[in-house]
Chain A
Amino acid sequence: MNYAVVKGTSYILVHARDMVIHNGTTQTTERVINPDSEYLKKLPNHLRSFEDAVAYLPNQIYIGNYKPEELEKHPQPWYENPVEGADRFGKYGEIMPEDEFIGLIKIVDTFDLVKLTEEFTNEVKAKLEAHPLMREDLIARLKTGEDISTIEKLIEEQGAEPLLTNGKLVGCVKRAHDVDENLSAHVLLENLVSKASAVLAGLNLIAKNNINPEDIEYVVECSEEACGDMNQRGGGNFAKSIAEIVGFKNATGSDTRSFCAAPTHALIVAASLVQSKAAKNVVVIAGGSTAKLGMNGKNHVEKGMPILEDMVGGFAVLLGENDGVNPILRTDLIGRHTVGTGSSPQAVMSSLVTTPLEKAGLKITDIDKYSVEMQNPEITKPAGAGDVPLANYKMIGALGVMRKDLERSELNDFIKKHGMSGWAPTQGHIPSGVPYLGFAREDILEGNIQRAMIVGKGSLFLGRMTNLFDGVSIMVEKNPGKVEEEKGVSEEEIRKLVAESMREFASHLLQN
């Protein structure tokens, strides 16, 4: 089969310090229920500077400046042991400060919903002009800015959402309708943040992988936001809106949703589009979420830690036709948690991991690396959620013991060899399966590993439409280097063959 290949990836982060306070749901809920709480008072003292966020090793790994293995070697806690000389720009992407990102929110706004002050517009324009990826046409979209009094009026009288950075009001997002909650300033801000961070991932995908944006024919977006109005609340289409700003002129696209499992679903969809020749080059893309900022903030503050959930994440992956070089996506070896699978952890893991292995005739140990929910344990452990990747590796290892692929005494070695410590921010779909894909491509191309499994899981029950859980997995493998040619037979060839047979037949007749 002519599988699709992973041609490139990009990973970006945005340091969203003030958004933690004003847009994270843990904080916004607390302000409603308990406006004078100790937590809200202490919170500002626990926010990190941009420099601290850049020097945080898990963030450096996310943008590709260090490999995941570095986490094991680095002294803990990671937040107290900054990376010396850390760069905001990385091999796979970048970490953007909040002020530049607010500028980008304005840039991606096509309905004049974002208003920035004149002063801030001038400041951010200068910064974005110095940014290596911001094209002139994008910077021009910043326009000239507004008077601060206009912005204050929109916030006070018309329900606009304030935009702040370093504690200072610099702009707002207006509502787009007087009554429709789906077009409220709150929803629009969330959607614009998702769009802007996805755009940043798209721009980095082009730049870091030498891609011609005009070659992209389809975009699959896989975030967790919903875009639409009161008559079609999740109408979409983030994908196309992102493609428009990034410059994928020849692309259309659509949105794929399945909570945190969506990126892996999107990979499968995109790989299938390429393999079926419906599109030659397909981009899978997602931006991040403001709602999840500071989600476990109460635990972090209680334990005297910095708020580590101050990063909005984003990523993009380019899949293309088999080039005989890049790693292939095995669409014939997919793990699917089906309706009938059941919800016990064992049933879930078996359907995602062992079922495709059985089909391939492989052992648990034949997969060099499993990329599961790669949440940073330094964020989840203080909140009582444990070490999520480790829990997954223990389960996969235990399945291996049950299948007799390894001895029980080998479990710890298995986890070390086939697992990784998590580094991704707790942004739902962002840490799910895909954070390792960039490294997987690199490790496979360098010959360090043969194959990896990308596993995505999602909590569908949160939407209250089903009690079911969800998950899918796909194997990424070293390209065997063979690009099979399709051997079709043309009409001309058929005529030639028929003519040859007739001649042969005639010569037989003559001889006789």
Chain B
Amino acid sequence: MENQKRVKELTEKYGAENVVVIVGGAEAEAVGLAAETVTAGDPTFAGPLAGVQLGLRVYHPVEPEFKEAVDPAVYDEQVGMMEMVLDVDEIIEEIKSIREQYCKFND
């Protein structure tokens, strides 16, 4: 709830085109829910983003788009272990589908 509020406030302050959300869930389902919240709105209709379609760019750290954008040494130090632990393919498939459906930006 608190995070939804922060995302909403930051988007209002800087504009949706200047905000990228990195979600850190460990399960594809949870990642999908978080991604849906910051694009199509809170699917549980419980928080400040209920019915608010921000359409933000949203990525998970194990996605190639994120991985390529950061220093490989830092990535290895911070994410390397989790990359091995998580079901990377499932997470990517889930978040990508959300992005394709609801993200306002085609890049």
Contacts and interface: CB of A to CB of B under 8 A. Distances in A.
Interface in B82-99: 82, 84-85
Contact of A345 (B27, B77, B82): B82
Interface string A346-380: 11011000000000000000000000000000000
B27 A346 contact: no
A344 B78 contact: yes
B81 interface: yes
B84 A408 contact: yes
Size class of the contact patch on chain B: 10 to 19
A401 B76 CA distance: 12
Interface stretch (A47-55, A86-94, A212-220, A391-399): A391-399
A398 B30 CA distance: 22
B40 to A, nearest CB: 20
A398 B80 CA distance: 8
Contacts of A344: 78-79, 82
The majority secondary structure among interface residues of chain A is helix
The majority secondary structure among interface residues of chain B is helix
B27 A395 contact: no
A398 B79 contact: no
Contact of B84 (A347, A384, A391, A398): A398
B26 interface: yes
Size class of the contact patch on chain A: 10 to 19
Contacts of B26: 386, 391
A411 B84 CA distance: 10
Nearest to B84: A398
A402 interface: yes
Among A346, A401, A411, the most chain B Cβ lie within 10 Å of the Cβ of A346
Contacts of A350: 81
Given A398-B81, A398-B84, 11 more contacts: A344-B82, A346-B77, A346-B78, A386-B26, A386-B27, A391-B85, A395-B82, A395-B85, A399-B81, A402-B81, A402-B84
Interface of A: 342, 344-347, 349-350, 384, 386, 391, 394-395, 398-399, 401-402, 408, 411
